[in-house]
Amino acid sequence: MILQMNGIQKSFGGLEVLKDISLHVDAGEVVSIIGPSGSGKSTLLRCATFLEKVDAGEITYMDTTAVRTGGDGHAVYLPHKELNSVKRYFGLVFQQFNLFPHYSVLKNVMDAPVHVQKRNKEEVREEAMAILKKMDLDTRADAYPCQLSGGQQQRVAIARALALKPAILFFDEPTSALDPELTGEVLKVIRQLAEEKMTMVVVTHEMPFARAVSNRVLFMDKGVVVEQGHPEDVFGDPQQERTRQFLRNYQR
């Protein structure tokens, strides 16, 4: 088991965005989360990566429980230092890439391993170049993000996340900010990672991609998981009316 989230609740100013959500991810699994906008999918990822604090619920990475529900029903987080050591288990790829514009491609990828993980610089450089080569970006190592296309930038962002060797990688709508003709190259990289048994959770609107790549699909709506299962079952034979309606709208 890589990640276990139980009974996650989150409200923004009285509006319940996540209502008692649970998510379990095993090693090597690729989980896709689909659903209409405002369903809480992105919030779930932001809670899993501690960018947002949950109101209640439990989050466990590997054998460390980072968040538990205290006696008063409110979530209790581990102290700062211990929480930081949990953070190294995961990486996150943003919709807007969020590359550091003043760093070259190579420095974007290398900087955190060298300055956060304090690893040997030469060793990191070799690894970073290998990852960039896999992303087909090794020739652009000295370029700056502004000189790259959106698809290339997102691939750098993926490389940057991989360089920290996370146990699980989250993707928050990784192709939504891209022009349609550029989504393919990013999806190809994610597919390649799936073949290498990288554990991933992908929030996406790319239904064919979710169907082809994932081991499991979650359909979320209005803060709850409506249906989950094998992609062929969810896409081919949805059990819930809301799922059917959503997929119908999507195909039109």
| Whole-number Å distance between alpha carbons of 225 and 211 | 17
d(CA 148, CA 202): 23
Which bin fits 209, alpha (ψ -120 to 50), beta or left (φ > 0)?
alpha
Q: Which stretch binds other proteins (CB under 8 A): 61-69, 109-117, 132-140, 243-251?
A: 109-117
Is residue 236 packed enough to be buried (19+ CB in 10 Å), middle (13-18) or exposed (0-12)? Answer: exposed
Structure token digits, residue 115: 């300055």
Does 149 interact with other proteins (rule: CB under 8 A)?
Answer: no
User: Which of 19, 88 has the CB closer to other proteins?
Assistant: 88
Q: Which of residues 154-213 bind other proteins (CB under 8 A)?
A: 160-161, 164
List the one residue from 27, 101, 130, 179 that touches other proteins (CB under 8 A): 101
Q: Is 115 in the site for other proteins (CB under 8 A)?
A: yes
Reading the block at residue 62, the tokens are 């590997």
Site string for other proteins, 50-69 (x = CB under 8 A): -x------------------
**87 interacts with other proteins by CB under 8 A:** yes
Instruction: Provide CB contacts within 8 A for 124, sequence distance 6+.
Output: 110, 113, 114, 163
Query: Binding to other proteins by residue 12, rule CB under 8 A?
Result: no
- Please identify, using beta-carbon distances, which residue of 51 and 130 lies nearer to other proteins: 51
- Binds other proteins by CB under 8 A, chosen from 22, 37, 64, 98: 98
Least Cβ distance, residue 100 to other proteins (angstroms) = 6
Q: Is position 116 an interface residue for other proteins (rule: CB under 8 A)?
A: yes
Number of H helices, E strands in the chain: 9, 11
Residue 4 one-letter amino acid = Q
Q: Give the closest residue to 4 by CA, choosing from 34, 27, 36.
A: 27
Tell which one of 61, 94, 209, 246 touches other proteins (CB under 8 A).
94
DSSP state of 150: H
Residues binding other proteins (CB under 8 A): 49, 51, 84, 87-88, 91-92, 94, 96, 98-102, 111-112, 115-117, 144-146, 160-161, 164
